[in-house]
Amino acid sequence: MVGGGGVGPTVRDVLAFHRIDRAAYEQLLSLGASPPPARNAVALLMWLHRRAGVDAVAARRGVAEVLDGVGALVFDDELHALLRRHEGEDEERGGAGGAILPAKLAAPYRGAAAPAAAMGEDDSCRSLFVTFSKGYPLTREEIEEYFTERWGDCLEKVMMEKTPVGELPSYGRIVFRHAVMAAAVLGGERLVKLVLNGRQLWARKYIPRQLQP
């Protein structure tokens, strides 16, 4: 998969190479699937295509790897709309590459997406609000270990409720490196229950206080 300049693949090259993966994603959407689970399903298939004999933990890490890497392009609606327009214009000119390639498509493909924090993105879209069963809290370290073991290097930070000395936290906030990871954990659900070391953690989308009704 080498770009026209011979140095490395461009964004357009990657989009064209993964055309079948994009088609599978759009097919799932047409059947009524919501974007998060559709992305996860296709990302899993993309990763399994390169692996064999993997367990569930490795598969979850693989999904995260795809979503943070080439999946950032495969599931980008704007880029695919741009590619379709460009290919249409090129076909009108005889299909000889006469249409000028848009800058976004001509840009070199740089592999895994840069952490959203480095791009100045608001971290609320990458966050989950979590609560614990009364009397059975979890520590920051337990939460970090749980997600890292299952999803790899996906966390930016874990924040816990500030409580007086001797009192246990009842809620916290998890900030992921990328928004797709927060969506992947929820899997299209409004609220999900996870079990960490025999204790329950309930997670839902984080909504900043100023945006709450």
Domain ranges for the chain: 11-113, 119-211
**How high is the mean pLDDT of the chain?**
80
**Are the CB atoms for 64 and 47 separated by under 8 Å?**
no
Once rounded to an integer, what is the mean pLDDT over residues 146-153?
Answer: 82
pLDDT at 130 over 90: yes
Local structure of 196: helix, strand or coil:
strand
Architecture of domain 119-211: 2-Layer Sandwich (3.30)
pLDDT at 118 over 50: no
pLDDT at 182 over 50: yes
Q: Which residues pair with 155 in a beta bridge?
A: 176
Q: pTM score, two decimals? A: 0.51
Residues 6 or more apart whose Cβ sits within 8 Å of residue 185:
128, 151, 176, 192, 203
Establish how many alpha carbons lie within 13 A of residue 115's alpha carbon, considering only the half-sphere containing its beta carbon. Answer: 11
Q: Residue 31 class from Cβ within 10 Å (0-12 exposed, 13-18 middle, 19+ buried)?
A: exposed
Local structure of 74: helix, strand or coil:
helix
71-99 pLDDT, tens digit per residue, is 888 888 888 898 888 888 878 777 666 67
